[in-house]
Amino acid sequence: MDVHHIRPPGLIVVICLLVSGCTANRPALDSILAGTTLPATLELADTPFFPQEAYQCGPAALATVLVSSEVDVTPEELAARVYLPKRQGSLQLELVAASRRYQRLPYQLDPELPALLAELQRGRPVLVLQNLGLASYPVWHYAVVIGFDSAPNTILLRSGDRERVMMKTGKFMRSWELANNWALVTLRPGEFPVNPDESRYLQAVAAMESTGKVEAAATFYQAALERWPVSTLAMFGLGNSYYTQGKLQRAEMQYRRLLAIQPSNAAARNNLAQVLADRGCSDAAFAEVDAALDITPQDSPIRKSLLEIRARLVNRTPPLQEPRIPCPAATESGWH
Amino acid sequence: MYRLRARRFIVCLLSISLLTTGLPAISYAGIIGTQSMIEMEQSDADRARVDSFIKQENVRDQMIGLGADPAEVGERLAALTDEELRILSRNIDNLPAGGSSLLAVIGITFVVLLLLEVTGVIDIFKKV
């Protein structure tokens, strides 16, 4: 058979899919940059490079961003923590979890290119998931964005075994969109992304706290409270981080601070009651428990906890600490 | 010998079920955890809660099945939140596992070309 038999429409589809990646209708980098304060070109050339071994782009890419945020770690060490041999790859959730183990806050960026590029301007390389295949035949790949250049319209990446990949912006965006625009930065304690979303940031900190990194979590919560001074979630989390570290007075202060803003927060009142009980301040603890029980619905899990605290108070479980610091008066803290 | 093993198994099973039925949604020592509070805010209070112990064991088995080093799995699980465990226990086989090299891309391209060739959309291989 000869060349005539190639059907033109089919060929066009194939070429479009495989070669150009359907980039025609995507905006060029300079039009994206136009509405921002970003420079025309930027490269974080100091970003470390870990050439990946077979299928190990997850550990390699994670090591790249972690080392950039001053963690002393190697891809080999990370492979044992994130790689799944029979999947020949790493899950996003495990990269997130692993970065918490190094006291770095895994913050997922807004799913837009400007948000990603803005992080580069702050000196932070960005871990991305790409689908280098098709939507129906995904080829999942992690890479690290380290820069961009509007003149040849490219995104710069540390990718696989190549130290400096220049990928056409449209092609990059297609591969990134096929992976739901997943982009991650690993923040040092107290750091923020360029445009932090309060709720997403605090949930990431709460995840860090709940997986045992309470000291780092406390630092993140403190920073969050400087930025969002009336965040009740940050107060609650900071109180809990202090409690876990045995810093009872500090925990108490945070719960009280929260209750001053939101007196009907039964969870905070529950925790305050527990701290008071631990301090040996039974009268004040009783007052808090009873105040909280008044406002807690019958089916709430908080009610169960409150009743347990009450039962322990009645049975006079010995306190964690003798009250070295005088207890607050029971009426002072009661709320109705 | 067999009986002893069977008995041991039953004892294990019973103690697990005892442990798990008693686990409250609240973390420990009367303190309500930050994550628990977030969950309470985000969902109905009476939403069914999958028990975290069962989820952990489920994900542990799946991760070991996927070739993770059993000695490392404990710490890997400990680094995940309850919500993340819930997602993994439901869906570990379908979530994207990034790891592919350029070779895979070439492979996919070849397969697509081959499919198009077989279905008659293109006709490039017969020339070679």
Residue-wise DSSP of A46-104:
TS------TT-HHHHHHHHHHHHTT----HHHHHHHHEEGGGTEEEHHHHHHHHHHTT-
For the record, the structure tokens of A133 come out as: 């295949």
Write phi, then psi, for A154 (nearest 5 degrees): -130, 155
User: A169: which 2 tokens?
Assistant: 């912006």
Cβ-based contacts of A246 with chain B (< 8 Å): none
Q: Which residues of B touch A1 (CB under 8 A)?
A: 123, 126-127
- Return the closest-CA partner of residue A210 out of B39, B87, B107: B39
Q: How far is A195 from chain B (nearest CA, A)?
A: 22
The helix (run of H) or strand (run of E) holding residue A105 is strand A105-108
Helix (H, G, I), strand (E, B), or coil: what is residue A128?
strand
Closest of A150, A146, A171 to residue A158, by C-alpha: A146
Cβ <8 Å between A18 and B78? no
Per-residue pLDDT of chain A (336 residues; tens, 9 = 90+): 444 454 555 555 555 455 444 445 677 898 888 888 899 999 999 999 999 877 789 999 999 999 999 999 999 999 999 999 999 999 999 999 999 999 999 999 999 999 999 999 999 999 999 999 989 889 999 999 999 999 899 999 999 999 999 999 999 999 999 999 999 999 999 999 999 999 999 999 999 999 999 999 999 999 999 999 999 999 999 999 999 999 999 999 999 999 999 999 999 999 999 999 999 899 999 999 999 999 898 888 899 999 999 999 988 766 666 667 788 877 544 444
Nearest-CB residue to B99 (from A55, A98, A131): A55
Q: List pLDDT tens digits, range A7-41.
A: 555 555 555 455 444 445 677 898 888 888 899 99
Q: Percent of chain A scored above 90 by pLDDT?
A: 75
Is the CB of residue B70 less than 8 Å away from at least one CB of chain A?
no
Phi first, then psi, for residue B77 (nearest 5°) are: -70, -40
Helix A266-278 with A232-244: angle, nearest 10 deg: 20
Q: CB count, 10 Å around CB of A306?
A: 26
Model confidence over B35-55: pLDDT tens digits? 888 877 665 433 445 566 777
Q: How confident is the model at residue B67 (pLDDT cuts 50, 70, 90)?
A: very high
| B25/A87 Cβ within 8 A | no
* B122 → closest Cβ in A6, A138, A142: A6
> Would you call B68 an interface residue with chain A, using a CB distance cutoff of 8 Å?
yes
A55: nearest CA in chain B? B99
Distances, alpha carbon A306 to alpha carbons A207, A277, B58, in Å: 24, 12, 32
Give me the sign of the Cα torsion angle A145, A166, A91, B44.
positive
Q: How far is A131 from chain B (nearest CA, A)?
A: 9
- Does residue A187 belong to the interface with chain B, where contact is any CB pair within 8 Å? no
* pTM, 2 dp: 0.81
* Angstrom distance (rounded) from CA B87 to CA B55: 10
pLDDT, residue A258, reads 98
Q: Rounded distance, CA A132 to CA A179, Å?
A: 9
Three-state DSSP state, B120: coil
Task: For residue A211, give the nearest of B32, B40, B78 by CB distance.
Answer: B78
Q: Which residue of B has its CA nearest to A285?
A: B30
Tell whether the model's pLDDT for residue B6 goes beyond 80.
no
List the one residue out of A185, A190, A255 whose CA is nearest residue A219: A190
Q: Which A positions 155-184 lie with beta carbon below 8 A of chain B?
A: 160-161, 179
